Structure 1
Amino acid sequence: MLMDQFGRKIDYLRISVTQRCNFRCLYCMPKIPFDYVPKEELLSFEEMFCFIKLAIDEGISKIRITGGEPLLRKELSVFIKMIKDYKKDIDLAMTTNGFLLKDYAKELKDAGLERINVSLDTLDSKKAKILAQKDVLSSVLSGIEEALKYDFKIKLNTVALKTFNENELSSLLEFAKSKNIQIRFIEFMENHHAYGQLKGLKRDEILQILSQKYQIFLLEKAEKSPVTLYTANDYKFGIIDPHSHEFCDTCNRIRLSANGLLIPCLYHDEALSIKEAVRKKDMQKAFQILKQVLQNKPEKNRWSVTDNQISSRAFYQTGG
């Protein structure tokens, strides 16, 4: 069992398999050039898998594949199958922008993937093109339909932005409801890599907008998760409030970046690299690094709007 210094059980590993992305979303990486990471700097899937086996053996029971955009990494389905073959009952999910999902849904399902989160910030193709700096909406919607065809459990992630999609929150909720999938509205995470003019909607503002059309009731705070669940009439949706410290008390996750950094907290800049250890197949050393990262995991995140703090970590490196 993996424990941090505050007695929290760590059983969730998020893995960024690539920093590359085929979108240039304004809230994430609008000015980053394409194909900017040399391949040799990244862990191979075999190297990642060596660490994953260690992590599973020590108590990791949930893994999420992220990016960048994970579907840009070749042979991703092979990697997923490696994990599922090692532990059949592992809770394995993926977060994607959905652009390539139509092409890969079947092989991802065949590899053993069951759950997918898809980013969907607008149903307006012109707005989507502005946000992603690319014409993307029709491909994303086709990807969602294809994933539904193969019975994936799907959730939609929507970053709520002032003057951009605030007038679409109800439409996005209705879209998700019509597909029988859950939508989670996410507060914009301020970071140095985002377009500086963006302003996010906070939880109370999101609820106020939705309450103009729906009866909103608080359901519960999801255990070990930053999402709070509500109902809008008879439909369940979520809001992710990353500025809050409430979910830190039960935080159960660490992150592995594509270049081998083990990261204890999304808003915590300290990280240690396992790259050299896994390339030398020194898993004892890798385990020692893992234990040190758990000791470094902070009790609370360091991100505070009131203190005007902005994250310097690039979320495309950690998968959010």
Structure 2
Amino acid sequence: MLIDSFNRTIDYIRVSVTSRCNFRCLYCMPNTPFEWEPHENILSYEEMFEFLRLAIDEGVKKIRLTGGEPLLRKDLDVFVKMLHDYKPELDLALTTNGYYLKEYAKKLKKAGLKRVNVSLDSLKPEVAAKIAQKDVLNKVIEGILEAKKEGLLVKLNTVVMKGINDGEILDLLEWAKKHGMTIRFIEFMENERAYPGIKRVSSDEILKEISKKYNFKELPKDNSASKYFELEDGYVFGIIEPHSEDFCKSCNRIRLTAEGYLIPCLFFTESYNIKEAIRKGDIKKAAEILREVVKNKPEKNDWQEEEVSSRAFWETGG
């Protein structure tokens, strides 16, 4: 079992299988050039699996595949099957922008994927295109509905921004409710790569907007990054508050990048590279690095001291 210095059990790893993305979202990487990482710099699926097998043996119960956009990496379903075959009860999830989800949902479900989180920032084609800097909405909606059709548990993620999509909070909630999916509204995470002038909509503002039409109650907090709320009819929605101390108190996760960097906290710049150890077949050394990362996982993120994060979120999976 992996337990950090603050007695939190670390049983969740987010794995960025690629830093590439086909969107250029305003809140993430709007001005980042379309670049290709040399193949030799990236861990192969086999190398990732060797490390994740070790992590699973140490007590990891949940693995989420992220990016960039993970569906840009070829044969992702093969990697999912490798993990599923090693431990079928593993909670295997995927975070995606949904653009290619219609094409891959069936393969991923068959390979053993259980859940998928999809970004849905607007129901208006022109607003979605403004945010992603690409005409995306129809393909994203098709992907979401295909994933549900294939039996994947679907959650929706919405980054709420003032003057851009904050007028759609109720519409997005009701669309998710209609289709039997949980939606989570995410406070914008200030970062150096975001488009200048993006303004955060706070959780209080989001809840105030929802309260104009619905009564709801807050549910007890679990290890999730979200706070969850229940409408009177039983529908549950969530809010993610990265500025909140609760966001850190319940944190049970570390992150692995495609280049082999193991990161203890999304908003810290420190990282440890396991690539050399894995490529040399030195599993003992990789295990030492894993335990060191868990041991040094900070109690809180850097935002108490820095207003803007320097972390490139597309490299760490957000």
If the length of structure 1 is used for normalisation, what is the TM-score? 0.97
1:251 aligns with 2:260: no
Q: Which digits, 9 at most, give the CA deviation of each residue in 1:147-204, with x for residues without a partner?
A: 1111110000000111111110000001000100100000000100110110010100
Q: SS in structure 1 opposite 2:307?
A: coil
SS in 2 for 1:220: coil
What is the root-mean-square deviation of aligned Cα atoms in Å? Answer: 1.0
**Which portions of structure 1, spanning 4 or more consecutive aligned residues, are displaced by more than 4 angstroms?**
none
Q: Which residue does 1:149 correspond to in 2? A: 149
- State the alpha-carbon separation in 2 of the partners of residues 302 and 166 from structure 1: 27
Q: How many residues align?
A: 317
Q: Deviations over 1:267-304 (max 9, x none)?
A: 11110000111111111111111111112210111213
- 1:315 maps onto 2:307 in alignment: no
Give per-residue Cα distances to partners, 1:3-34, cap 9 Å, x unaligned: 11222111101100000001000100011111
* More deviation, 241-250/132-141: 241-250
Which piece of structure 1 moves more, 109-118 or 207-216?
Answer: 207-216
Alpha carbons 1:207, 1:216 under 8 Å: kept: no
- Give the deviation of 1:244 after TM superposition: 0.7
Which amino acid counterpart does residue 76 of structure 1 have in structure 2?
L
Cα deviation 1:210-236 (Å, max 9, x = unaligned): 111111321222x11221111234221
What SS does structure 2 have at the residue aligned with 1:231? strand
Q: Which residue number corresponds to residue 6 of structure 1?
A: 6
Query: Counterparts of 1:54-203 in structure 2 under 5 Å?
Result: 54-203=54-203
**Aligned match of 2:242:** 242
Q: Is the 8 A contact 1:43 1:259 kept in 2?
A: yes
270-279 or 1-10: bigger deviation: 1-10
Aligned to 2:227: 228
1:15 counterpart residue number: 15
Find the aligned partners of 2:248 and 2:127 in 1 and give their Cα distance. Answer: 34
Please say if residues 42 and 258 of structure 2, whose CA atoms lie closer than 8 Å, have aligned partners that are also in contact: yes
Structure 2 distance, partners of 1:133, 1:250, is 34
**AA in 2 matched with 1:128:** A
Secondary structure of the 1:155 match is: strand
- The separation in 2 between residues aligned to 1:156 and 1:128, in whole angstroms, is 14
| Separation in 2, partners of 1:138, 1:63 | 29
Distance 2:61 2:230 in 1: 29
**Aligned with 1:229: secondary structure?**
strand
**Residue 243 of structure 1, CA deviation:** 0.4
Conservation of the 8 A alpha-carbon contact between 2:121 and 2:165? yes
Q: Quick one: which amino acid aligns to residue 28 of structure 2?
A: C
Structure-2 separation of matches of 1:16 and 1:286: 18
CA distance, structure 2, for counterparts of residue 232 and residue 159 of structure 1: 21
3-state secondary structure, aligned to 1:303: helix
Q: 1:308, 1:63 → 2: CA distance?
A: 29
Q: Deviations over 1:51-85 (max 9, x none)?
A: 01100011101100000000000010000000000
- Please tell me whether residue 32 in structure 1 is matched to residue 32 in structure 2: yes
- Larger mean CA deviation between 113-122 and 226-235 belongs to 226-235
Counterpart amino acid of 1:292?
E
Calculate the TM-score normalised by the size of structure 2: 0.98
3-state SS in 1 of match to 2:220: strand
Counterpart for residue 262 of structure 1:
262
How far, CA to CA, are the matches of 1:18 and 1:196 in structure 2?
25
Once residues 308 and 284 of structure 1 are traced to their aligned partners in structure 2, the CA distance between those partners, rounded to angstroms, is 36
Contact 2:225 2:250 in 1 (8 A): no
Unaligned runs of 5+ in 1: none
Q: Identity across aligned pairs (percent)?
A: 58
CA distance in 2, matches of 1:36, 1:74: 14
Per the TM alignment, residue 41 of structure 1 is displaced from its structure 2 partner at its CA by 0.9
Give distance in 1, aligned partners of 2:56 and 2:65. 15
Query: Which residue matches 2:214?
Result: 214
Give the Cα separation in 1 of the matches to 2:28 and 2:232: 33
Distance (Å, rounded) in 2 between the aligned partners of 1:249 and 1:132: 32
CA displacement at 1:96 relative to structure 2: 0.3
